[in-house]
Structure 1
Amino acid sequence: MPSAPIQADTRIDRRFAALKAEGRAGLVTFITAGDPDHETSLALLKGLPGAGADVIELGMPFTDPMADGPAIEAAGLRALKNGARMTRTLDLVRGFRQGDDATPLVLMGYYNPIYSYGVEKFLADAKAAGVDGLIVVDLPPEEDRELCEPALAAGINFVRLTTPTTDDARLPAVLANTSGFVYYVSVTGITGAGSASASAVEEAVSRLRRHTELPLAVGFGITTPEQAAAVARVADGAVVGSAIVRKVEANLDAEGKPTAGLVGNVLSFVETLAEGVRSARK
């Protein structure tokens, strides 16, 4: 039997319900907090909904991002070099919420920065800032007492990753405390490492739907509007991260500073992805 979705009324729940009513999938975008600097990062964050992002993942920079490929790892290092830290990440969320109270925002990263900040303080500050969910890639279900259960108690969705190697025996444990949506990582390995075939994604989504009623977002390896559309035909969301982060990097000057066109160029790219997602089922 599929696990029943945790009953809640969060921005994530409302957004996916609205997307379902529209008969389309959503575009989930990822950028790294503070990349390439705080001000540019805030401008990107504020511009993403207008460019077509339905859900935003904001990466928490960390010095040892074991699941990230070269693009996102480099973005984190750029951010850290320019003063990124957890307090400033939450400042970005606050700045975003001043003009947008509807778009779901999920912090994504690793447990170490949260543990260092202090779990109880982090959850209180994150909730107050306007964070809707967490994706913490290095905390398995066996460690749910560390962060997952306290996050749910604080009213913050805890989004879990599943992969092609997460078999039917393992899925119930992975999904037990998951809320908001399920993030299916369509390829094994680090971010930006390649892409799965459309048939493989469709088969995986069908299998996951037998286990959960939560929305399913598929990511890793989506770099073009066409790939985003292919995922959007079968899943509830298409996640794009590395391709957006690479677009940020492509708009830096020789000294690593943002060029005048960076924000506009990145958001224009997101618009093409959004168009792919929105036209997928027409």
Structure 2
Amino acid sequence: MNKRFGLLLVVCVGVFAACQNESETEDSLVSEQSSVSAEAEKSVTKTILFSSGVEDGITRGDKYNYFALEGNAEGYDQVTTIIEGTAVDYRETNNVWEFDYPYQGPSIETEITFTTDTSVIYGDTGIKLADLAPESYVTITFIPNENPTITPPAFTVNEGEAQNFLSDDSGINELVTVTEIREIDALEELNPLGEKLLEVEVQYVNNGSVDTYIAPNYFSALDAEGKILPLRYTHFWLHTVAPGESFTDKIYFDITSEGPYAIQFFDGAWIDSEEVGETVNDI
């Protein structure tokens, strides 16, 4: 009986050792394959080459937390920017196939992808980089300036007050109202960074003579120190607004720092007066 048990134990140990060796071999093969894939990715000839503003795949915020880069994409009419799987902007290339991209980043590290893939259209959401040709896109990391110089807006109005933006030369006449600014519990479907979001309701009226195009990244949310909060690109809309038309929609920002919060649209800003505790109206 003891001999049989001893034999069985030896067989079990042998099977375990064989399984372990097989597992190690598989892990080794997977590791080698991953290494080969990474090397293959590095060897891909990209259609986008940066000529300035990017070093070792990193671009950094300047004293105002802007970054500006230049690049070329020979043979392509435009380069589209993707953040969080959303096509948030595009730049047309000029006669020598160069493009430039000035951007004021939020106060967090952000992955930003640039692509020449013509199937990607500004405003698209749910974009998976794995579905794009490897040579068609390049991803860089934006690292913010931790202590940027804050430039105050041209004027400030309260939540609920309308502000008019107009340009006689271009036929633009916009009436913009941030109707509500409030903190909410984070919505899981928006893939938030934390437990709270800033929900901002916007009402927009086109009183001009030309079509206008409005998206959430036309607005910025600022914390008590004037630093920009991250926009939730996972909730992205793009409205084409004809003369005489209007819309109301919501924008979401990650709350990464303390309020009171202000919302900027171009040169204007809206303050949640309930948060501030006093009226602010410096126009």
TM-score tier after normalising by the smaller chain length: under 0.3
**Which structure's residues are more often helix, by fraction?**
1
Q: Whose strand fraction is larger, Structure 1's or Structure 2's?
A: 2
Q: TM-score, normalised by structure 2?
A: 0.23
TM-score, length-normalised on structure 1?
Answer: 0.23
